[in-house]
Amino acid sequence: MSSNRVGREKPVGSNFELYSWYFFRISGIMLVFLAVIHVMVMHVFNTAFDIDYDFVAARWESPFWRMFDWLLLIMALTHGLNGARIAIDDYVQSAGWRVVGYSAILIALLIFGVMGTLAIVTFEPQ
């Protein structure tokens, strides 16, 4: 049966990989709503030409959209970087370069997580 699977097979033997497997799927289901609604609001119901500083300011008047955007930020960042980790496992063989790769992922998580959170939380319209 395992040969019939389309996704990564459900891992056994390692708790971390098992949690990662579930996390891909749970965050994936959340992202279907978060990411697709985000794309539709920005590019279908509005267009890229409607969006400017005032648009962002009006949107972030509402705590709902700040919360929505922050959830999208965290879910996309953790799900995407976890995917990058899997790609490193597949393509990078040398132990040294793997450490470099994993470190880059953690640094990216920290820097982009902080930048994004600051942008959303500290925004005050001018």
- Whichever of 4 and 122 has its CB closer to ligand HEM, that residue is 4
DSSP state of 13: S
* Sequence-distant (≥ 6) Cβ neighbours of residue 8 within 8 angstroms: 21, 24, 86
Contact (CB, 8 A) for 96 and 64: no
Residue where the block lists tokens 């953790």: 78
Chain residues 55-114 in contact with another protein, contact rule CB under 8 A: 56, 73, 76-77, 80-81, 83-84, 87, 108, 112
* 40 scored as a contact of ligand HEM (CB under 6 A): no
Cα(11)–Cα(93) distance, integer angstroms: 20
* Residue 62-101 contact track with ligand HEM, rule CB under 6 A, x = bound: --------------x--xx--xx-xx--------------
DSSP state of 9: P
Gyration radius of the chain's alpha carbons: 18
Residue type, 91: Y
* Sequence-distant (≥ 6) Cβ neighbours of residue 28 within 8 angstroms: 79
- Whichever of 80 and 116 has its CB closer to ligand HEM, that residue is 80
Summarize as ranges the residues that interact with another protein (CB under 8 A).
1, 4-7, 10, 25, 28-29, 31-32, 35-36, 39-40, 43-44, 47-49, 51-54, 56, 73, 76-77, 80-81, 83-84, 87, 108, 112, 115-116, 118-120, 122-123, 126
Summarize as ranges the residues that interact with ligand HEM (CB under 6 A).
7-8, 21, 24-25, 28, 31-32, 35, 76, 79-80, 83-84, 86-87
